[in-house]
Amino acid sequence: MSSDPIQEAPIPSFPVSEIAPTVQRLRQTFDSGRTRPLAWRKEQLEGVLAFGREQSEALVAALQADMGKPELEARTSDIGQISVEAKLALKNLKKWTRPEGAGWMPVLGRSFVQRDPLGVVLIIAPWNYPVGLLVSPMIGALAAGNAMVLKPSEVTPRTSAALAELLPQYIDTDAIAIVEGGVEETSALLEERFDHILYTGNGSVGRIVMEAASRNLTPVTLELGGKSPCIVDRTADLAVAGRRIAWGKFMNAGQTCIAPDYILVESSVEEALIESIQKAVHEFYGDDPGQSSDYTRIVNRRHHERISKLMTGHSVVFGGSSDPERCYIEPTLLRGVPPTAPIMQEEIFGPVLPVLTIENLDEAIQFVNGREKPLALYLFSQDSAAEEKVLSETTSGGACMNGTILHIGNSKMPFGGVGPSGMGAYHGRHSFETFSHRKAVLRRGIRLDPKMMYPPYTKRKTDMIKKMF
C-alpha cells in the first residue's frame, strides 16, 4: 500500500441524451433475433473469457489505482470470476438451453419448458469488486441470449474507464453497451424500459431501483447487504476461527458485502478469540498494516469519513488508527459496543469489527433474529447440534460453517439475499435462469380430438368428468 496521498480520478460520464437511443438500438438488435442462436452466445462468452485472460494486467492496474488492491486479491476475488463463470457457461450452454421435458398427458399431448431470453436487461455493478460483479452477471445474461446495458460503478473511475475501453473489443457492441457515469446517468437509465434489472449495492439505492422498475413492471434481482453476524461458541477451534474471521473481515479492507459485520462470542472464550484475531492480523499485515502491500485502502475520502464516525466513542482493543489523506483505516476490533450504537445499526463496510458477548447459543440466535435478515451468516463451532440449530432457526442469504466468505466461491450454488439483504440470486446456472423466461409449451397431435371436451356439456359428459376428478 502506497504511503502517498491518494489522487481521486474524475467521475466518468456518458451523454445522457444518448441513453434512450442506445437502449432503443439494443432493442432493435434483440428483436432482430441476432442474440438468440447458440453460436452467437458462444462467441460472446469466448470473447469475455479472452478479455479476462488478455486484459488482466490492465484490470489489476486499474484496481490498484482505484483502491490499492493487492494483485492476488484483485485476481482471485474480482477478475477471477470472469474465468470461472465463462468456462462454466461455455461447458454447459447446450445443456442449459435444451428444452426440459415436462411429461405426457393422454389426449392433451407432450409438454416441455423452453428457456427464452428476456430481452434487453440492465446490470448495475458496485465499486467494491467492480470487475467481477459486472462481468459475472453479464455472463449469465449472455448465456441466456439477451442484449444488455452494463453500468460500471463511478466510485472506481479508473476501473470503469478500463472496462469501457477494453471490453467492447471482445463483444458485440450492437447488442451490449457500456454506460459510464454517476447518479445522472443511472437515473436516466432507470427511466428506460428494461426486461430485467440486476442491481448490486446498498439497500437505499436498491429501493430506488425497485421503485423505478415498478413503473414498467420490470422484474429485479437485488444483491444488497446488511449486517452479517459471526457466531463463535465455546467449542470452536479459536486459532482457526481467529485466522478465518480476520481474513474474511479484513480482505479488501472490509469492503465486502458478505464480510463478517460483527461477532457474537460466548463470554468464556472472548479473550482467547480476540487474541487469536489480533495474532492473525499481525501475521497477515505485519506491525504496520498501513505499510503493507497486502492491505487495501478505503475507496474514497467520503467512505473513510463515514467509517471513522462509526468508530468514534467505542473501546478499541487493537487498531483504530487512520489517515484520511491515504484513505487508510487500520484493521480494528471494538469491544463492549452497545447493540443500540450507530455502528450496530448499519452495515460497516470497512475494516472495523465489533465484538459482543453472549452467554449461550440461544441468546445469539435471538439477537440475530431480532434484526433484519443478513446476506451471510457464519458459525464457528465443533458441535454438530449447534450447527443444525443455527441453520434451522435463523434465516440468511447464505451461510458458512467454520469459515467465512468462501461459500460464494461455488458457482453451482445460488448467491443472493433474503428480505432486506436482497431478492433473487445468480452465479452459474442460477445466472442463466435469472435472465431467462421459462416458457411452458404443449405440443398436441391432431389425430385424437374427443368430442367430450367440447359443448354441449351433456349429463353423460358431466358424469364422466365427475368420476375422473
Residues of the chain with CATH 3.40.605.10: 16-224+419-442
- Decide: 332 and 318 in contact? Cβ < 8 Å: yes
Q: What is the pLDDT of residue 306?
A: 97
Half-sphere exposure of 306 (CA within 13 A, CB side): 13
Cell digits of residue 408: 460464494
Cell digits of residue 400: 458458512
The residue among 195, 147, 193 whose CA lies nearest residue 171 is: 147
- Quick check: 3 pLDDT over 80? no
- pTM, rounded to two decimals: 0.95
Question: For residue 16, what are the CA distances in angstroms to 181, 185, 188, 189, 383?
Answer: 9, 6, 7, 9, 57
Catalytic residue of the set 223, 266, 330, 347: 223
CATH architecture of 16-224+419-442: 3-Layer(aba) Sandwich (3.40)
Whether 257 is catalytic: yes
Who wins on pLDDT, 104 or 355?
355
Q: What is the pLDDT of residue 453?
A: 83
Cell digits of residue 341: 450504537
Catalytic residue of the set 73, 192, 230, 257: 257
Dist. CA 213–CA 309, nearest whole Å: 34
pLDDT tens digits, 231-284: 999 999 999 999 999 999 999 999 999 999 999 999 999 999 999 999 999 999
- Decide: 154 and 28 in contact? Cβ < 8 Å: no
pLDDT tens digits, 291-336: 999 999 999 999 999 999 999 999 999 999 999 999 999 999 999 9
Residues of the chain with CATH 3.40.309.10: 229-409
Whether 327 is catalytic: no
- Quick check: 107 pLDDT over 90? no
pLDDT tens digits, 325-338: 999 999 999 999 99
Strand partners, 113: 100, 440
Asked if residue 420 has a cis previous peptide bond (ω within 30° of 0), the answer is no
pLDDT tens digits, 161-202: 999 999 999 999 999 999 999 999 999 999 999 999 999 999
Half-sphere exposure of 166 (CA within 13 A, CB side): 22
CATH architecture of 229-409: 3-Layer(aba) Sandwich (3.40)
The residue among 158, 162, 163 whose CA lies nearest residue 134 is: 163
